[in-house]
């Protein structure tokens, strides 16, 4: 059986500094896969390779049987890989509606000419678009912020809008980079609920990078642990918790 | 829905350009006023003629307003590139020049010293835009490589290349200083003698406005004649309205959002599926299209195209319009271009008024005397003397105030005139509980 995504023996280096070294994993449809590891372990680099922001020197990335290595980010987005960022990367001067609508760029196709004229095709597409955007706003419970420029919104809400923008792409795989970083308990629980909703209702596979171990252990199907760019363990949460290598990476070793 | 008229019941009504009736009525009134201006309607009370909006209908004012329309079209183009897509460009004058000379070749007189095909306006005007857009596409790949200040320098280079070309391609441009005559705005179906719609000659009032006489006849007198300036103004204003609607639509659809996304966070935009190179390409092409149209209109309006017109100062003027108005907003860009052209006239009127006050004496006159210099020994800010004098003359004063205002806007109100308008509007929306 072929996997949705296969990350094959990826090596990424910046002028001799090895960010990723022989990282391999796979994700199946509808799976919630988590990547954990100490700071600088290469978690976000993994995402950047998947997105096409970084070009790994070694290995291959196979998406639905096709290699996406070296593809431009927008082409990869077209194929159904969406992402949120660790430090929110929303379009600060656009409002919530516009931000989420932008996520639908790859699922719409009206050009500048039809858009300028508005009547006909562009108008129909905008209205259909709006209906989809409203579904997402509904799912993430951000109705009251629709028309606010996102730069003015509280942090927790911005995180939700960013998740919404990624969902608007109707992705098959969603990359979540620290979705609950800096959040209080209540906000974390809300976000966990949204992640589970997305999985149950939309059936989207997810890769989660997160430092909140409680959250990861609770909701992940499988976990990969990275340390200094190399994978030290991959498995179900129960096994990962007991793995001596993992404990060593996190807590250090007794002298 | 009776009884709840302000409830949006469809996305369509909520996302329309003018969602509320207040906005529709206000914009309708504004357009109506803009049409009334050149008609110079007046009310006779006793033996005096009052012209509530008609005072703006004198030819000097109409020329200013025509310029506002032309520069408005060009500035909306720069607003797409700089305001929406965030690409700083000082090359707008270059694209205007390309448009102007395309129009000159296509629409110019046949068989004279310069190339000319004598084609009608409905060919040369769109062609001016299209050729400028093509040239814009050639420049776009550079913008993908460099950004910010570096892009500004690259586009600055364009202006100098353009000036050099325009000076030396004499068979097209007529060469330095002298330039060439330019086709008029008259609308011809083909190359016939009598234009289908004449904009560049005085004539009787267009029959389109007969209803005004019918509607307001008993109270307001409309003259039976229309000046050349009035017709030109109406034609340009109509074009501006079309361009405004197009620009507004672009901003609220897919490509407009892609532009703004690239401006705010380019990497995130790419990851969300916005192709970087292609989108910047489109921004340059669209912006240059508008510039080309504005360039052709400008020289047609002036009647002569001189290579030195398309210099850095022209580019800077557009940047100023977009900045003072409020980058990224259509309404702001329009306010900016109104400001840039109406303001000098107001300063001129104001110094005229000051001078009169001084001459008439009295308390106010002596206060005004502090600011006005009437002779070589009399210090003051503004001078009434011609030539070299102790004070600034009116055009110098204009430049000084202009510069101070630009600095002021950048420091105190980065959102420009549009930002001020928002604050005033929100104040009155919340009144009397505005904090």
Pairing of strands A32-36, A205-209: parallel
Is B268–A94 a contact, with Cβ atoms under 8 angstroms apart? no
Q: What is the pLDDT of residues A208-221, one digit of tens each?
A: 999 999 999 999 99
B268 touches chain A (CB under 8 A): yes
- B9 lies within 8 A of chain A by CB: no
| Nearest residue, CB atoms, B11 vs list A103, A112, A127 | A127
**Residues B262 and B368 grouped into a single domain:** no
Which DSSP category does B253 fall into?
S
Contact B236, B297 (CB under 8 A): yes
Q: Phi, psi (5° rounding) for residue A176? A: -110, 115
Give the model's confidence band at B375: pLDDT under 50 very low, under 70 low, under 90 confident, else very high. Answer: low
Taking only the tens place, the pLDDT of each residue in A89-114 is 999 999 999 999 999 999 999 999 99
Residues of chain B positioned with their CB less than 8 A from the CB of A172: none
In angstroms, the separation between the Cα of residue B255 and the nearest Cα of chain A is: 6
Kindly list the residues from chain B whose CB atom is less than 8 angstroms away from the CB atom of residue A167: none
Mean local confidence (pLDDT), A218-247: 91
- B58 to chain A, any CB pair closer than 8 A? The answer is no
Interchain contact B225–A (C-beta under 8 A): no
In angstroms, the CA B38 to CA A61 distance is 67
Report the 10 Å Cβ neighbour count for B45: 8
Can you tell me the mean pLDDT for B353-357? 78
Q: Which residue has the tokens 């792409």?
A: A169
Structure tokens at B327: 């980058």
CA–centroid distance for A151 within its chain: 21
Please tell me whether residues B298 and B374 are part of one structural domain: no
Retrieve residue A194's tokens.
């949204």
- For B311, counting Cβ atoms within 10 Å of its Cβ (0-12 exposed, 13-18 middle, 19+ buried), the class is middle
* Cβ within 8 Å of A, B 241-260: 246-247, 249-250, 252-258, 260
Shared-domain flag, residues B153 and B283: yes
Q: What is the pLDDT of residue A63?
A: 95
Nearest by CB to residue B273, choosing from A53, A130, A169, is: A169
The pairing of beta strand A205-209 with beta strand A173-177 = parallel
Question: For an interface test with B, which of A47, A51, A73 has the most B Cβ atoms less than 10 Å from its Cβ?
Answer: A73
Distance CA B414, CA B326 (A): 7
Domain holding B148, by residue range, is 42-308
Instruction: Give the pLDDT confidence of B113-171 residue by residue, as tens digits.
Output: 788 888 899 999 999 999 999 999 998 888 788 888 899 999 999 999 999 999 998 88
Shortest Cα distance from A125 to chain B (angstroms)?
Answer: 9
Inside any domain, residue B184: yes
C-alpha to C-alpha distance for B320 and B286, rounded to whole angstroms: 20
Q: For the segment B21-33, what is each residue's pLDDT rounded down to a tens digit?
A: 888 999 999 998 8
Confidence category of residue B193, pLDDT binned at 50, 70, 90:
confident
Last residue of a domain, one of B261, B286, B308: B308
Q: In terms of C-beta distances under 8 Å and separation of at least 24 residues, what long-range contacts does A213-222 make, across chains too?
A: A213/A36, A215/A180, A215/A188, A216/A34, A216/A36, A217/A241, A218/A192, A219/A32, A219/A192, A219/A195, A220/A32, A220/A33, A220/A34, A221/A31, A221/A32, A221/A33, A222/A31, A222/A33, A222/A34
- Tell me the angle at which helices B312-325 and B330-360 cross, rounded to the nearest 10 degrees: 100
Six token digits for residue B341: 């052209």
Q: List the structure tokens of A164.
A: 């919404």
B291 shares its domain with B350: no
- Do the Cβ atoms of A98 and B257 come within 8 Å? yes
How far apart CA B211 and CA B35 sit, in angstroms, is: 13
The secondary structure element, H or E, covering residue A20 is: strand A17-27
What lies within 8 Å, CB to CB, of A43 at 6+ separation is A35, A36, A37, A177, A209, A226
The shortest CB-CB distance from A112 to any of B261, B276, B282 is to B282
Q: Do B72 and B213 sit in the same domain of this protein?
A: yes
Q: How far apart are CA A62 and CA B234, in angstroms?
A: 61
Residue where a domain stops, chosen among B308, B330, B355: B308
Give the mutation candidate from B253, B283, B288 for the A interface (greatest A CB count, under 10 A): B253
Give pLDDT, residue B172: 85
Residue B414: how many CB atoms within 10 A of its CB? 11
What structural domains does chain A harbor?
1-80+171-255 (3.40.50.300), 96-167 (no CATH)
Task: Flag whether B10 is in a domain.
Answer: no
B246–A74 C-beta distance less than 8 A: no
Asked whether residue B161 falls in the same domain as residue B100, the answer is: yes
pLDDT of the residue at B249: 94
> From the CA of A227, how many Å to the nearest CA of chain B?
26
Q: Are B106 and B143 in contact (CB under 8 A)?
A: no
Which member of B249, B260, B276 has the closest CB to residue A94? B260
With bands split at pLDDT 50, 70 and 90, how would you rate the model's confidence at B402? Answer: confident
Among candidates B300, B308, B310, B304, which has minimal Cα distance to B114? Answer: B304
Above 70 in pLDDT, residue B379? Answer: no
What is the pLDDT averaged over residues B380-399?
67
In a domain, B336, yes or no: no
Give me the phi and psi of A34, to 5 degrees please.
-115, 145
- Closest residue in B to A128 (Cα–Cα): B11
ipTM of the complex: 0.92
Identity of the residue in B12, B265, B273 whose CB atom sits nearest the CB atom of A105:
B273
Residue B18, in any domain of the structure? no
Question: What's A151's DSSP letter?
Answer: G
pLDDT bracket for residue B389 (50, 70, 90): low
Nearest to A110 among B254, B264, B269 (CB): B254
Give dist(CA B204, CA B21) in Å, integer.
Answer: 36
Contacts (Cβ under 8 Å, ≥6 apart) of B120: B107, B187, B188, B189, B190, B191
Q: Is the pLDDT of residue B203 over 60?
A: yes
Residue B325 C-alpha, separation from nearest chain A C-alpha, in angstroms? 17
Residues in chain A within 8 Å Cβ distance of B258 = 102, 105
Q: Same domain, yes or no, for B173 and B299?
A: yes
The tokens describing B369, both together, are: 């005397």
Residue B33 placed within a domain: no
The confidence score (pLDDT) of residue B396 equals 77
Inter-CA distances, B51 with B27, B184, B207, Å: 22, 30, 22
Structure-block tokens of residue A182: 């800096």
* Residues B366 and B294 grouped into a single domain: no
Across residues B36-41, what is the average pLDDT? 80
Give how far Cα B274 sits from Cα of A108, B88, B224, Å: 11, 20, 55
Whether A87 has a pLDDT exceeding 60, the answer reads: yes
In chain B, the percentage of residues whose pLDDT exceeds 70 is 92
- Sequence-distant (6+) residues with CB within 8 A of B10 are none
Q: Domain count of chain B?
A: 2
Residue B37 lies in a domain: no
**Domain co-membership, B146 together with B293:** yes
What integer best gives the mean pLDDT of chain B?
A: 85
B379 and B287 co-located in one domain: no
To probe the interface with A, which of B129, B272, B280 has the most A CB atoms within 10 Å?
B272
Which residues of A sit within 8 Å Cβ distance of B?
A: 51-53, 72-74, 77-78, 82-83, 85, 89-94, 98, 101-106, 108-112, 114-118, 122-123, 125-127, 130-131, 134, 165-166, 169
Clarify whether residues B261 and B404 are in a common domain.
no
Residue A49 has pLDDT above 90, yes or no: yes
In A, which residues are within 8 Å of B253 by CB distance?
Answer: 110, 114-116, 118, 122, 126
Q: Among residues B263, B290, B308, which one ends one of the domains?
A: B308
Tell if the CB–CB gap between B267 and A53 is shorter than 8 Å: yes
Task: For residue B324, tell me if it sits in a domain.
Answer: no
Q: Is the pLDDT of residue B385 over 80?
A: no
CA distance B9 to B152: 46
Cα–Cα dist B301/B66, whole Å = 8
Residue B362 banded pLDDT, cuts 50, 70, 90: confident
The answer to whether B128 and B100 have CB atoms below 8 angstroms apart is yes
Q: Which residues from A are below 8 Å from B263, CB to CB?
A: 91, 93
User: Does the beta-carbon distance from B260 to A125 stay under 8 Å?
Assistant: no
Do B392 and B266 reside in the same domain of the chain? no
Distance from CA of B181 to the nearest CA of A (A): 33
Rg of chain B, C-alpha, whole Å: 24
Rounded Cα distance, B160 and B226, in Å: 41
pLDDT over 90 (residue B301) = yes
Cα distances (Å, whole numbers) of residue B69 to A43, B64, B260: 54, 9, 25
Give which of A31, A59, A61 is closest to A47, Cα–Cα: A61
Q: For residue A1, what is the enclosing H or E element?
A: none
Subunit contact B260:A73, Cβ cutoff 8 A: no
The rounded distance, in Å, linking the Cα atoms of A250 and A211 is: 11
By Cβ distance, the residue of B11, B247, B276 closest to A130 is B11
Would you say residue B159 lies in a domain? Answer: yes
- Per-residue DSSP letters for B185-217? S-B-SSS-SS-SB-SSS-EEPPGGGHHHHHHHT
Contact at CB, A130 and B255, closer than 8 angstroms = no
Once rounded to an integer, what is the mean pLDDT over residues B195-199? 83
Give the model's pLDDT for residue A34: 95
- What average pLDDT does range A113-136 have in this prediction? 92
Chain B: nearest CA to A13, how far in angstroms? 20
Lowest mean pLDDT among A166-170, B106-110, B176-180, B278-282: B176-180
Output the pLDDT for position B212.
Answer: 78
Best to test chain B binding among A108, A112, A143 (most B CBs inside 10 Å) = A112
- Please write the tens of the pLDDT for every residue from B315-325: 999 999 998 88
Taking the CA of residue B313 and the nearest CA in chain A, the distance in Å comes to 30
């Amino acid at each position: 059986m072929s996997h949705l995504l296969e990350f094959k023996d990826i090596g990424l280096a910046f002028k001799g500094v090895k960010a990723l070294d022989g990282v391999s994993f796979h994700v199946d449809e509808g799976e919630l896969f988590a990547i954990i590891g100490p700071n600088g372990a290469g978690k976000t680099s993994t995402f950047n390779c998947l997105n096409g922001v970084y070009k790994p020197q070694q290995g291959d990335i196979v998406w639905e049987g096709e290699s996406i290595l070296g593809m431009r980010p927008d082409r990869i987005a077209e194929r159904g890989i969406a992402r949120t960022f660790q430090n929110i990367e929303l379009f600060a001067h656009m409002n919530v509606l516009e931000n989420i609508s932008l996520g639908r760029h790859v699922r719409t196709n009206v050009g500048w000419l039809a858009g300028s004229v508005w009547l006909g095709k562009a108008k129909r597409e905008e209205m259909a678009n709006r209906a989809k955007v409203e579904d997402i706003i509904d799912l993430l419970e951000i109705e009251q912020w629709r028309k606010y420029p996102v730069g003015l919104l509280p942090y927790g809400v911005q995180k939700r809008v960013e998740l919404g923008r990624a969902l608007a792409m109707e992705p098959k795989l969603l990359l979540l980079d620290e979705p609950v970083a800096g959040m209080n308990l209540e906000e974390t629980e809300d976000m966990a609920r949204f992640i589970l909703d997305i999985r149950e209702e939309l059936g989207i596979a997810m890769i989660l990078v997160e430092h909140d171990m409680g959250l990861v252990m609770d909701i992940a199907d499988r976990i990969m642990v990275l340390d200094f760019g190399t994978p030290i363990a991959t498995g179900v949460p129960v096994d990962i918790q007991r793995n001596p290598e993992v404990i060593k990476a996190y807590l250090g070793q007794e002298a | 829905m009776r009884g709840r008229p302000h409830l949006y019941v469809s996305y369509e009504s909520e996302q329309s350009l003018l969602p509320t009736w207040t906005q529709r009525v206000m914009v309708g009134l504004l357009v109506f006023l803009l049409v009334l201006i050149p008609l110079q309607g007046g009310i006779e009370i006793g033996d005096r003629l009052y012209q509530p909006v008609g005072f703006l209908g004198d030819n000097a004012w109409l020329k200013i307003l025509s310029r506002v329309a032309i520069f408005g079209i060009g500035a909306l183009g720069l607003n797409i590139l700089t305001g929406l897509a965030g690409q700083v460009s000082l090359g707008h004058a270059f694209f205007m020049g390309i448009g102007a000379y395309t129009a000159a070749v296509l629409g110019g007189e046949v068989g004279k010293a310069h190339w000319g095909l004598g084609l009608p306006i409905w060919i040369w005007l769109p062609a001016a835009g299209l050729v400028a857009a093509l040239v814009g596409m050639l420049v776009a790949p550079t913008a993908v490589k460099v950004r910010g200040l570096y892009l500004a320098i690259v586009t600055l280079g364009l202006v100098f290349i353009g000036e050099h070309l325009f000076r030396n391609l004499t068979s097209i441009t007529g060469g330095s200083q002298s330039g060439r005559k330019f086709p008029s705005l008259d609308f011809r179906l083909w190359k016939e003698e009598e234009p289908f719609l004449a904009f560049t000659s005085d004539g009787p009032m267009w029959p389109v406005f007969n209803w005004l006489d019918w509607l307001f006849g008993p109270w307001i007198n409309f003259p039976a004649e229309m000046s050349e300036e009035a017709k030109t103004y109406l034609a340009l204003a109509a074009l501006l309205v079309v361009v405004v609607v197009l620009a507004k639509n672009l901003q609220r659809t897919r490509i407009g959002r892609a532009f703004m996304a690239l401006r705010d966070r380019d990497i995130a935009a790419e990851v969300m599926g916005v192709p970087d190179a292609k989108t910047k390409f489109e921004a340059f092409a669209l912006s240059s299209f508008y510039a080309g149209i504005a360039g052709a209109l400008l020289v047609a309006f002036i009647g002569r195209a001189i290579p030195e017109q398309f210099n850095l100062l022209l580019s800077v003027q557009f940047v100023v319009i977009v900045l003072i108005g409020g980058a990224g907003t259509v309404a702001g860009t329009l306010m900016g271009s109104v400001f840039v052209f109406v303001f000098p006239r107001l300063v001129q009127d104001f110094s005229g008024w000051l001078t009169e006050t001084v001459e008439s004496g009295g308390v106010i006159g002596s206060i005004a005397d502090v600011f006005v210099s009437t002779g070589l020994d009399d210090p003051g800010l503004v001078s009434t003397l011609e030539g070299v004098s102790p004070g600034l003359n009116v055009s110098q004063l204009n430049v000084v105030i202009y510069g101070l205002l630009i600095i002021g806007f950048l420091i105190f109100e980065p959102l420009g005139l549009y930002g001020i308008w928002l604050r005033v509007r929100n104040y009155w929306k919340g009144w009397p509980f505005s904090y």
